[in-house]
Amino acid sequence: MAVTLHDIAEKTGVDVSTVSRAMNNKSNVKEETKQRIWQVAQTLGYRPNRVARSLVTQKTNTLGLVMPSTKCLGHTLFSWMLEGISLEAEKLGYSLSFSVVDIGIQGEKTAITKLEEHRVDGLILGWFKEKYIEESTLVQLAQREIPFIVIGDRHLSSRDINMIACDNFLGAYKATNHLIDLGHEKIALISGRTDNPIVKNRLAGFNAALEQAGIHYSDQSIKRLMKEEDFSAAGAGERGMRSLLDSDEEFTAVFVLSDMCAAEAIRAIQQRGLNVPNDYAVVGFDGAEYGRLLNPSLTTVKQPYREIGQKAVRMLKQLIAGEVLPKNRVWIEPQLIIRESCGAQRTATATQ
Amino acid sequence: MAVTLHDIAEKTGVDVSTVSRAMNNKSNVKEETKQRIWQVAQTLGYRPNRVARSLVTQKTNTLGLVMPSTKCLGHTLFSWMLEGISLEAEKLGYSLSFSVVDIGIQGEKTAITKLEEHRVDGLILGWFKEKYIEESTLVQLAQREIPFIVIGDRHLSSRDINMIACDNFLGAYKATNHLIDLGHEKIALISGRTDNPIVKNRLAGFNAALEQAGIHYSDQSIKRLMKEEDFSAAGAGERGMRSLLDSDEEFTAVFVLSDMCAAEAIRAIQQRGLNVPNDYAVVGFDGAEYGRLLNPSLTTVKQPYREIGQKAVRMLKQLIAGEVLPKNRVWIEPQLIIRESCGAQRTATATQ
DNA sequence: TATATGTATGCAAACGTTTGAATATAATTG
DNA sequence: CAATTATATTCAAACGTTTGCATACATATA
């Protein structure tokens, strides 16, 4: 049986309340008594029971992290996010309770319910697409007493919901500008599904950059230059690229909205005996580690999910403390990683 | 304030104990009363307080997962493992408490201590190298009452410690045999640090395959054919490969002990204007997703960490139930993924 | 009808802490 | 030295459950 405050109290001949205060290093207990109590606690191998403590203090110092089970976990972004979250949680004294949710009939409700039952102090909801957790569910959650933060770009009309995400507009803008700076004027696009808010924002950034540079395509060109694919499905990049190569439309660069698709696109180009970046420049989106391992290595936009995770925890802490966040929509700026696939970098070390 | 059993008791005019029994669907409660209680619980939005429950039942239904913070999280293997663990934990009714540990002065002790304080029912210790958690610490932990499982190949002399890992010997054996089957007789090796048990086992598998095929190298050749590098450090594969290409020793294939290094090796070969697999066959180790995105796609050994995570949870459950495991060392068989980098597969789809 | 069996509910203690209020002891003050 | 204040400690209730035991009532048995 684990040793409790009572055991220490008995051994030292003092009341449990005194022992409790001593263990929490409260001021109103004599230094000598403290020492004696600590001594005994030490030798007995005392470990405070956080369960009991939580029951009376009404807080668990635990944050709940909920993720959809749809292969997100394998994604680079998730690892970064988890790292950011867990390190910052650790730093701020929180434990982390992790749940994956089988998307489907109300999976998310059971997961959130479970965490509610565990009385976590706050909740981080990662990357749920609109269709998996509808806004109405979030609004409902906001009415319960537990504070939460949504991670990932999505459309939200309610102001009661706090969200943090990558600035997809800015990322696409940077990538496109990079291509423009390198002299490209005809830029093809392998996109994601355009009903996805993430994709919408990236397209907007892409268009903004073109417009600013005074580049304009005919409606017909746009139709031929843009391939709408599911950018998280294997084979999408290959299909999109081949379709582009087969079209009559001329272009010198491709902006691909995910690194995985970009890598497939590069393969597809190379398989036709063509060269990247000489025949076509390719830029991706995500910033996955393996980008540097490709040949040519991939120029891409790095989504700042480590930072996002970290910041999410900080925001959540504020929320838990009852503070009101200055902004309830936060977008973090992504960085352009320049490597070889656009020709801007020719050096061939593998460490970058 | 959250609604409790008392609230329901008051509303239904019945004792809390009856309400408790009803909520847990115990048999000794009249059906009609149950219905009435459930009804009230429903409308009041009752959520059982697991903290309170845990205090009396003395179990939390929570598993603790402890990981070193040393960039493991970004590794493919970790994602798989986490997925396996979390899905299986979910299935078995456990919650998951996740902790990263800053390696350093007793980092691991504080993390484990924290989880102990949280009274997790069991512990999964992921991938700690010998130098981060020494066996003595594990033995000490085994003497406390909390059951745990160590994930990852490492040398352990104590029989009180339960371990599960990838069968590195078998993986290397499979990879080497694949090369031998393809007719290769001179196989170079880009290894990890040979003081690492993982590496030792892989080397043993490599040698076993060679020996079985009746292939034997002179001591001098061995020295020239094997490059010892830190296979998880960026640039190691490139350095190792260049060094091999610069040597006079002839060889037709390279076995690289990590996918990352293998990818770098391929780049290094290609940068000399040589071809993979025609000039050199390359086989990796890990089974990372991005292997299929390389050009040529990478033949590799897939470490079964999804399965390992899953199995670890199952074993832990048994341990918690007080059962004795049939084996306290479990090695899971890895699979060879045959793609293009050895020439065994020439088709060029990107989905495989 | 009295006794035994079973079923449904209530009572009260327990889990291991924290914490406000009460008390006892020591130190300070006029 | 008595009165006041500060310090150190104890008391007891509370947090929200679970669960063994006692009790009440209904039903079956002799």
Query: Which residues in chain A touch residue B266, judged by CB atoms under 8 angstroms apart?
Result: 295
CATH number at residue A148: 3.40.50.2300
Residue B56 covered by a domain: no
User: Mutate which of A85, A115, A295 to test chain B, going by most B C-beta atoms within 10 A?
Assistant: A295
Do residue A179 and residue A282 come from a single domain?
A: yes
How far away is chain A from the Cα of B10, in angstroms, using its nearest Cα?
A: 21
User: Residue A350: what pLDDT?
Assistant: 47
pLDDT tens digits along A24-72: 999 889 999 999 999 999 999 999 999 999 999 999 999 999 988 776 7
From A90, A99, A294, residue closest to B100, measured CB to CB: A90
User: Residue A75: what pLDDT?
Assistant: 85
How far away is chain B from the Cα of A291, in angstroms, using its nearest Cα?
A: 9
Residue A56 covered by a domain: no
Is a pLDDT exceeding 70 seen at residue A260?
Answer: yes
- Residues 53-72 of chain A within 7 A of strand C, judged by CB, are 53, 55-57
Residue A351 covered by a domain: no
User: Mutate which of B24, B51, B81, B102 to test chain A, going by most A C-beta atoms within 10 A?
Assistant: B51
- B68/B74 Cα distance (integer angstroms): 12
Q: Which amino acid is at A246?
A: D
Do residue A202 and residue A257 come from a single domain?
A: yes
Distances (CA, A) of A99 to A112, B62, B90: 9, 11, 8
Do residue A238 and residue A279 come from a single domain?
A: yes
Residue B25 CB lies within 7 Å of the nucleic strand C: no
Q: Which residues of chain B have pLDDT under 50?
A: 350
Q: For CA atoms B280, B281, B286, B287, give the dihedral sign.
A: positive
Do residue B37 and residue B77 come from a single domain?
A: no
Using the 8-state DSSP alphabet, how is residue B264 labeled? H
Residue A349 covered by a domain: no
How far away is chain A from the Cα of B33, in angstroms, using its nearest Cα?
A: 24
Residue B55 covered by a domain: no
User: 3-class secondary structure for chain A?
Assistant: CCCCHHHHHHHHCCCHHHHHHHHCCCCCCCHHHHHHHHHHHHHHCCCCCHHHHHHHHCCCCEEEEEEECCCHHHCHHHHHHHHHHHHHHHHCCCEEEEEEECCCCCHHHHHHHHHHHCCCCEEEEECCCCCCCCHHHHHHHHHCCCCEEEECCCCCCCCCCEEEEECHHHHHHHHHHHHHHCCCCCEEEEECCCCCHHHHHHHHHHHHHHHHCCCCCCHHHHHHHEEECCCCCCCHHHHHHHHHHHCCCCCCEEEECCHHHHHHHHHHHHHCCCCCCCCCEEEEEECCHHHHHCCCCCEEEECCHHHHHHHHHHHHHHHHCCCCCCCCEEEECCEEECCCCCCCCCCCCCCC
Do residue A89 and residue A197 come from a single domain?
A: no
Q: Say what angle helices A76-91 and A305-320 make with each other, to 10 degrees.
A: 40
Residue B236 covered by a domain: yes
How far away is chain B from the Cα of A173, in angstroms, using its nearest Cα?
A: 26
Q: Measure A264 CA to C4 C1' (Å).
A: 81
Residue A16 CB lies within 7 Å of the nucleic strand D: yes
CATH number at residue A27: 1.10.260.40
Do residue A275 and residue A236 come from a single domain?
A: yes
pLDDT tens digits along A294-343: 999 999 999 999 999 999 999 999 999 999 999 999 999 999 999 999 99
Residue B12 CB lies within 7 Å of the nucleic strand C: no
Do residue A41 and residue A129 come from a single domain?
A: no
From A50, A118, A350, residue closest to B238, measured CB to CB: A350
Query: At a CB cut-off of 8 Å and minimum separation 6, what does A220 contact?
Result: none
Query: Do residue A80 and residue B74 have CB atoms under 8 angstroms apart?
Result: yes
Of all nucleotides in the shown strands, which has a C1' nearest the CA of A32? D8
Residue B220 covered by a domain: yes
From B69, B95, B290, residue closest to A87, measured CB to CB: B69
User: Residue A233: what pLDDT?
Assistant: 92
Do residue A192 and residue A273 come from a single domain?
A: yes
Q: Measure A17 CA to C23 C1' (Å).
A: 14
From B47, B96, B260, residue closest to A113, measured CB to CB: B47
- B9/B16 Cα distance (integer angstroms): 5
pLDDT band at A131 (very low <50, low <70, confident <90, very high): low
Query: Do residue A294 and residue B289 have CB atoms under 8 angstroms apart?
Result: no
B48: closest chain A residue by CA: A117
Query: Do residue B87 and residue A100 have CB atoms under 8 angstroms apart?
Result: yes
Do residue A241 and residue A279 come from a single domain?
A: yes
Residue A23 CB lies within 7 Å of the nucleic strand C: yes
* Cβ atoms A281, A342 nearer than 8 A: yes
Query: Do residue B90 and residue A100 have CB atoms under 8 angstroms apart?
Result: yes
Q: Measure B40 CA to D11 C1' (Å).
A: 37
* Cβ atoms B163, B194 nearer than 8 A: no
- Segments forming the whole domain that contains residue A37: 5-48
Residue B328 covered by a domain: yes
Query: Do residue B86 and residue A95 have CB atoms under 8 angstroms apart?
Result: no
Q: How many domains does chain A have?
A: 3
- Residues 19-38 of chain B within 7 A of strand D, judged by CB, are 20-21, 23-24
End-to-end CA distance of chain A: 54
Do residue A241 and residue A143 come from a single domain?
A: no
Instruction: Give the CA count within 13 Å in the CB-facing half-sphere of A109.
Output: 10
Do residue B126 and residue B102 come from a single domain?
A: yes
Q: Measure A21 CA to C19 C1' (Å).
A: 10
Do residue B188 and residue B211 come from a single domain?
A: yes
From A2, A79, A235, residue closest to B73, measured CB to CB: A79
